[in-house]
Structure 1
Amino acid sequence: MGIKAILSRPLARYIVQQQQQWISESIAIQEKWRQELVAKAAATEFGKDHFFGDIHSYSDFKEAVPVADYEDLKGYIGKIKEGADNILWPGKPLYFAKTSGTTSGTKYIPISKDSISNHINSARNAILTYIDQTGKSAFLDNKLIFLSGSPVLTETGGVLTGRLSGISNHHVPAYLRANQLPSYETNCIEDWETKLDKVIEETIDQPMSLISGIPPWVQMYFDRIIERTGKKIKDVFPDFSLFIYGGVNFEPYRAKLFESIGKRIDSIELYPASEGFFAYQDSQDDEGLLLLLNTGIFYEFIPADQFFEENPPRYSIGEVEVGKNYAMIVNNNAGLWGYSLGDTVRFVSTNPYKILVTGRIKHFISAFGEHVIGEEIEKALRYGMERHPEVEVVEFTVAPMVNPAGGGLPYHEWLVEFATAPQDMNQFVEDVDRRLTELNIYYKDLIQGSILRKLELVPLPKNAFINFMRASGKLGGQNKVPRLSNDRKIADELVKLKNV
């Protein structure tokens, strides 16, 4: 065992002991952060506009700080982009994380010198927690790959600007940088497919032990290697022992990824975003991601089924309940206030506070009042795959078909790219649809009331989603296809690829 593997163990123990300390004081820790954030930002433009000096309780905070999305904060961010300081947080941001929004165009999310540690240390602590729990650390002595966006940064109003993964690349600890692949030059390549070929050239003969990235893009990396070598990933990288991922639900990709690897390996799920690093998997033995309550973020939660009400309730961490779906709201030490991420989470534990990411508050289907959410779609698909173990899914999305061309009742249309299709497609569709009726009573009522007919599944050709993302200019990096939509903008483009 090498020196990095050996030295990581006492550090891992120390980090986990610190973690256990704040876990035991979760509610008090969150209240401390609320008070600190408000006090530090009181003299900013936002703090003055919202009377931070008069906030003395959480009730005062909810009265003063409205729930906001990017559009609501865009005016303040615009001033920062023009060079102003002390707008949302003291001074200027250290970075802008540049990200594509579905409704707001390009977003510029501030990261401050106070908040950067949340992004960097949380990723480190996820790995150290794994080491402490499992006792496995030898992977640190071999090569590590982080499939990420370009680290090239530009300037916006004097603030360094780039993709979150590229910004994070500049903060990889020195002790890991010597092991990190691909090279900085390769990471700077913007075109994803050109970059991927270069990544393969640099890694294919290396002792890779850790691979990290968004599952669909890691799968594309695996597919190219298998095409080139004719071997499973375990035979190309015999030391590969840990997969780290985030950004999408892993379950629909799990079967194909592990089939490509050729063996089971450990994995760590992360919940990072430009707005903050919120949670990570702290155990290989149970579900749920540990919500990080001591990293400069004050969290709020709105019941998902009440989010679109005029004045929905807002709860702090001590008020949440296990089993309920919430829209997650963040206030952080980069100057995001009452910020609605658009994500929904469900608590699976409150001691410690652990969550599952269940979908997007705006990614649902309710064309007929059914309000089907991403978690239900994914569970129904997983059930079908369990009943038909030969099935491997590359990617999928679901949309309503309100006015079928041939007439008849409307339905949900599932557009699925299979690596291996069901042997009995009709039964597969029957099983998926039956499970969805069990998961969503409104969908069941609409089916039984002959308002909807059961779902229809459209198999898409190989590389349909890759071709769609390429045509959209969103191939690779942190980009993802929404799992479900309440309109047909994505679905109609994908249907055009059916016979291509």
Structure 2
Amino acid sequence: MVSLKSALAKPFAKTIKKSILKWANNPIETQDKVFQKLIKEALNTKFGKDHGFNAIKSHEDFLKAVPVRDYEALKSYVEEVVAGKENILWKGKPIYFAKTSGTTSGAKYIPITKESMPTHIEAARNAILMYIAETGNSKFVDGKMIFLQGSPILDKQNGIQLGRLSGIVAHYVPKYLQKNRMPSLETNCIEDWETKVEAIVDETLPENMTIISGIPSWVQMYFEKLIDRTGKKVGDIFKDFNLFIFGGVNYEPYRAKFESLIGRKVDSIELYPASEGFFAFQDTQNEKGMLLQLNSGIFYEFIKADEFFNDNPKRITIKDVVVGVNYVMIISTNAGLWAYNIGDTVEFTSIKPYRVIVSGRIKHFISAFGEHVIGKEVEQAMKHAIEGSKIQISEFTVAPQINPESGLPFHEWFVEFENEPENISDLEQKIDTLLQNQNSYYFDLIKGNVLRPLKITIITKNGFQNYMKSIGKLGGQNKIPRLSNDRKIANTLYALKLTK
């Protein structure tokens, strides 16, 4: 028997799909309206006055007036906002600060305004509604749903609430879903991740879980604890679990392991949320990439990643992007971020409509010898190397080994296996060949005997969890960088004796 909630979800999903298609099919016009509105709304802010917003009529004017900045370069403005001053980056004051841990600047305080907050909520909701509109599957709305996230406990800074984005979002669950949502507030507030996951297992085991959501590496930890507790596959524990929602990292390296833990295939929806904005979500099960959110108070610019560190790289709008090029994404938002570099690189998989994949981080690459290997390339190489085999991986990261004890330098792959390969050198060779096929610089360096082929170092069971614990970043929205251009992570893995 179909419930009322499940029945109502389908016409609602169709209505939302129509409204999304309206702007997705008029992308240039949509982005132009967003741009004009952003400039108009911020005319009388300190940033707007400092950058002559009253004279900005076009993107060309904007390019001349507003340089690309990262958090460090915008920090003087942010500090005024944090101090409680009004009309600095955006009109009035923000309603929240999303607090994130910066690598160079300590804690970052990313403003969230009353205009930007709804877009964070609506995009996640719309992703599920687009899935319902496409598949006709709405039965899951009657079951229990879980999102593995940070604590919803918020602090205050000069009258403005602050916390992790996932903790802030936890306060905005729609009323019609509040009875379905897990874990309980009490459990969600547990700070220690391992204790929290055990409590989540206690709460969810008796329930009919239909949606499970979170960063794959931490959901995997939850799944493993469920299996340890019951001796059953996750799909046997939760027979109606059919939708996995994730964001933050590429799911593909985890997919085989997840299907093994679940015991069957389940549909998945990828999201692209960040403290700075909700940028994209997977709008169809049949196409690669996520629909770029062009109507969410965010104006997008792009710089080719391989030109980003040039003196004056060209900034373009969606009008001029092409499929298959690696771009650094630059955003201006109704939270008061202007020509802001969030550090992500994206690649367009389609321009009708505009869909992207996250290809990596502009800071997370290996170019110790000019090879400029990026996250997408190592993930693709790993995915294809283990395809069709019994090999399963839990996690991996890659670092350059510039000064080996003997022989040529190489890329060192630190891999935690679920099922280890019978022949590690075969796997090394496969991955290396696949990487050479994707990256001509890497190919030239191998063929020119500047580098030797990659080496795999095996990480002990739960080694990456122990590493994250050692640096105080176990759980929540924290994740292992796929690539480093230095040996910091590598040296810590060795120092903690997490290698075999």
TM-score (norm 1): 0.99
Partner of 1:27: 28
Superposition pairs of residues 4-403 of structure 1, within 5 angstroms: 4-386=5-387, 389-403=389-403
What amino acid sits opposite 1:441 in the alignment?
S
Q: 2-side partners of 1:24 and 1:137: how far apart? A: 26
| Contact 1:330–1:339, Cα closer than 8 Å, also in 2 | yes
| Contact 2:457–2:499, Cα closer than 8 Å, also in 1 | no
What amino acid sits opposite 1:488 in the alignment?
R
Partner of 2:407: 408
Q: Deviation digits for residues 433-479 of structure 1, max 9, x if unmatched?
A: 11111111111111111110000100010011000000100000000
Partner of 2:488: 489
Q: 2-side partners of 1:499 and 1:191: how far apart? A: 25
Query: Does structure 1 residue 454 correspond to structure 2 residue 453?
Result: yes
Query: Secondary structure of the residue that 1:445 maps to in structure 2?
Result: helix
Q: 2-side partners of 1:73 and 1:258: how far apart? A: 43
Q: Deviation digits for residues 54-100 of structure 1, max 9, x if unmatched?
A: 10111000111110100011111111111111010000001000111
What amino acid sits opposite 1:399 in the alignment?
A
Query: Cα offset for 1:331?
Result: 0.4
Query: Does structure 1 residue 443 correspond to structure 2 residue 442?
Result: yes
Q: 2-side partners of 1:323 and 1:409: how far apart? A: 32
What amino acid sits opposite 2:326 in the alignment?
N
| Contact 1:182–1:202, Cα closer than 8 Å, also in 2 | yes
Q: Deviation digits for residues 137-184 of structure 1, max 9, x if unmatched?
A: 010001111111000001112111011001000001000011101001
Q: 1-side partners of 2:34 and 2:65: how far apart? A: 17
What amino acid sits opposite 1:436 in the alignment?
L
Q: 2-side partners of 1:276 and 1:241: how far apart? A: 28
What amino acid sits opposite 1:397 in the alignment?
T
Query: Secondary structure of the residue that 2:387 maps to in structure 1?
Result: helix
Query: Cα offset for 1:131?
Result: 0.4
Q: 1-side partners of 2:463 and 2:112: how far apart? A: 35
Q: 2-side partners of 1:99 and 1:255: how far apart? A: 31
What amino acid sits opposite 1:3 in the alignment?
L
Query: Secondary structure of the residue that 1:66 maps to in structure 2?
Result: coil
What amino acid sits opposite 2:466 in the alignment?
N
What amino acid sits opposite 1:489 in the alignment?
K
Q: 1:499 to 1:26 in 2, by over 3 A?
A: closer
Query: Secondary structure of the residue that 2:93 maps to in structure 1?
Result: coil
Q: Deviation digits for residues 160-216 of structure 1, max 9, x if unmatched?
A: 101100100000100001110100111011110111111110001100000000000
Query: Does structure 1 residue 432 correspond to structure 2 residue 445?
Result: no
> What do you get for the CA RMSD once the two structures are aligned?
0.9
- Unmatched 5+ stretches in structure 2: none
Q: 1-side partners of 2:445 and 2:467: how far apart? A: 32
| Contact 1:417–1:459, Cα closer than 8 Å, also in 2 | yes
Aligned residues: 498
What amino acid sits opposite 1:392 in the alignment?
Q
Aligned-pair identity in percent equals 56
What amino acid sits opposite 2:4 in the alignment?
I
Q: 2-side partners of 1:422 and 1:239: how far apart? A: 33
Query: Secondary structure of the residue that 1:330 maps to in structure 2?
Result: strand
| Contact 1:80–1:157, Cα closer than 8 Å, also in 2 | no
| Contact 2:381–2:431, Cα closer than 8 Å, also in 1 | yes
Q: 2-side partners of 1:95 and 1:260: how far apart? A: 38
TM-score (norm 2): 0.99
Query: Secondary structure of the residue that 1:218 maps to in structure 2?
Result: helix
Q: 2-side partners of 1:191 and 1:3: how far apart? A: 39
Q: 2-side partners of 1:319 and 1:432: how far apart? A: 34
Q: 2-side partners of 1:410 and 1:23: how far apart? A: 47
| Contact 2:458–2:499, Cα closer than 8 Å, also in 1 | no
Partner of 1:498: 498
